[in-house]
């Protein structure tokens, strides 16, 4: 497909990587699949349960950790790490699709503010591809122009939209969970899969009417 301004991630070329910033990897104009979720979209009890499951997953391969599963993860083989990521990514997406929490983004006033925020610097700081705004989370395909923009823009989207949404809905408090999930796209087939995933997310989650916003980029960034 025609990526236009976006590119596929090339792991053999240089890229930036950060531990405490999301997205945690960046390569100039590489297409990133980014998921931002509302702060109450995954209950603390669920997160704690996942932590226990991660430790149990590692124990099956003889890796015993004292609470720090991330250290044990590094001891897995590349194939085991792939299974680990696939399993827990699926759990996260299924939980988000259950639409837990207050689901403020189901309100058209809120979802339109998020959409405006995502498109505000399209073509300037980044190239925005397909996105879907669900009641409690957002998926998008985006290609950031520089490492600095990749490090700061997701936070900018969340701060700007949170301020607008809190004003329009007369609410207060934290809206977004501060750390998005990210994945750099490595192939055309993966890109097409993610575009389809974004498009089909509302139907898969049983969301209809005005409770979501979907934008198709036509395969171009």
Q: How far apart, in whole angstroms, are the C-alpha atoms of residue 7 and residue 106?
A: 32
Q: How far apart, in whole angstroms, are the C-alpha atoms of residue 110 and residue 6?
A: 28
Q: How far apart, in whole angstroms, are the C-alpha atoms of residue 44 and residue 58?
A: 22
Residue 204 confidence class, pLDDT cut points 50, 70, 90: very high
State the pLDDT at residue 22: 58
Q: What is the pLDDT of residues 17-63, one digit of tens each?
A: 766 555 566 777 899 999 999 999 999 999 999 999 999 999 999 99
Confidence (pTM): 0.88
Judged by phi (left if over 0) then psi (alpha if -120 to 50, else beta), residue 63 lies in beta
- Superfamily of segment(s) 16-41+103-215: Transposase IS200-like (3.30.70.1290)
DSSP character at residue 3: -
Q: What is the pLDDT of residues 109-165, one digit of tens each?
A: 999 999 999 999 999 999 999 999 999 999 999 999 988 898 899 999 999 999 999
Pairing state between β 126-133 and 31-37: unpaired
Q: What is the pLDDT of residues 78-96, one digit of tens each?
A: 999 999 999 999 999 999 9
Q: Is the peptide bond before 114 cis (omega within 30 degrees of 0)?
A: no
Residue 189 reports pLDDT greater than 90: yes
Query: Tokens in use for 74?
Result: 């590094």
Domain chopping of the chain, boundaries: 16-41+103-215, 44-97
């Amino acid at each position: 497909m025609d990526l236009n301004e976006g590119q596929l991630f090339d792991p053999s070329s240089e890229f930036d990587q950060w531990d405490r910033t999301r997205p945690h990897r960046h390569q100039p104009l590489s297409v990133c699949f980014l998921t931002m979720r509302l702060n109450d979209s995954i209950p603390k009890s669920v997160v704690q349960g996942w932590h226990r499951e991660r430790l149990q997953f590692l124990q099956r391969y003889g890796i015993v950790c004292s609470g720090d599963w991330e250290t044990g993860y590094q001891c897995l083989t590349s194939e085991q790490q792939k299974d680990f990521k696939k399993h827990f990514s699926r759990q996260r997406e299924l939980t988000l699709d259950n639409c837990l929490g207050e689901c403020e983004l189901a309100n058209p006033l809120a979802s339109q503010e998020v959409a405006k925020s995502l498109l505000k610097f399209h073509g300037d700081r980044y190239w925005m591809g397909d996105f879907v705004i669900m009641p409690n989370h957002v998926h998008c395909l985006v290609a950031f122009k520089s490492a600095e923009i990749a490090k700061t823009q997701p936070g900018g989207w969340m701060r700007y939209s949170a301020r607008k949404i809190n004003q329009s809905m007369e609410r207060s408090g934290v809206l977004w969970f501060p750390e998005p999930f990210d994945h750099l796209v490595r192939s055309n087939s993966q890109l097409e899969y993610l575009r389809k995933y974004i498009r089909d997310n509302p139907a898969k989650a049983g969301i209809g009417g005005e409770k979501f916003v979907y934008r198709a980029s036509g395969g171009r960034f």
